[in-house]
């Protein structure tokens, strides 16, 4: 009888704890790195703020570096990109340097998030970063 009561109490406590503990949604990049969605969104917000305030050489008409890749669809128009800072330890993995970039449209809607492995001055390999479906 006491064991059943103890198990019921423990089950209730564990259930209430599950409601408190939340896992932060993340992007999973092709180089096996997880970057929090909040970090990417914060970087996009910062890019917009800098363009509005004409900081870092950007403005509303030119809110980032011109992206020469293909947009998801033709209606998107010109895309822009910026490198973002990532948590310590994600820049150098398996003896390779990586840069992480956000790609967005003129309205600051995220179009792509990429990890770019830097091989040399002009050599680069791009890894897509996708929303980790475990957080849907």
Q: Which residue has the tokens 């999973």?
A: 28
User: Could you report the per-residue pLDDT of 29-78, keeping only the tens digit for each?
Assistant: 999 999 999 999 999 999 999 999 999 999 999 999 999 876 666 666 89
* Spatial separation of the C-alpha atoms in residues 100 and 112, rounded to whole Å: 11
b/e burial code for range 90-113 (CB count within 10 A of at least 16 → b): beeeeeeebebbbbbbbebeebbb
Minimum mean pLDDT range among 17-31, 40-54, 71-85, 116-130: 17-31
Please state the pTM of the whole predicted model. 0.75
Give the confidence band of 19 by pLDDT, cuts at 50, 70, 90: very low
Domain boundaries, the chain: 24-135
Contact assessment for residue 99 and residue 126, using Cβ atoms and an 8 Å cutoff: no
């Amino acid at each position: 009888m006491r064991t059943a009561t103890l198990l019921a109490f423990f089950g209730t406590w564990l259930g209430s704890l599950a409601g408190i503990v939340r896992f932060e949604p993340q992007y999973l990049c092709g180089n096996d790195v997880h970057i929090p969605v909040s970090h990417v969104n914060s970087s996009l917000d910062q890019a917009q703020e800098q363009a509005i305030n004409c900081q870092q050489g950007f403005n509303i008409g030119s809110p980032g570096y011109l992206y020469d890749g293909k947009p998801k669809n033709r209606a998107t128009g010109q895309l822009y990109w910026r490198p973002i800072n990532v948590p310590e330890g994600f820049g150098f993995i398996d003896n390779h340097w990586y840069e992480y970039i956000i790609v967005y449209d003129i309205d600051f809607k995220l179009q792509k998030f990429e990890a770019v492995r830097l091989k040399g001055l002009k050599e680069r390999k791009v890894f897509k970063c996708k929303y980790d479906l475990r957080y849907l």
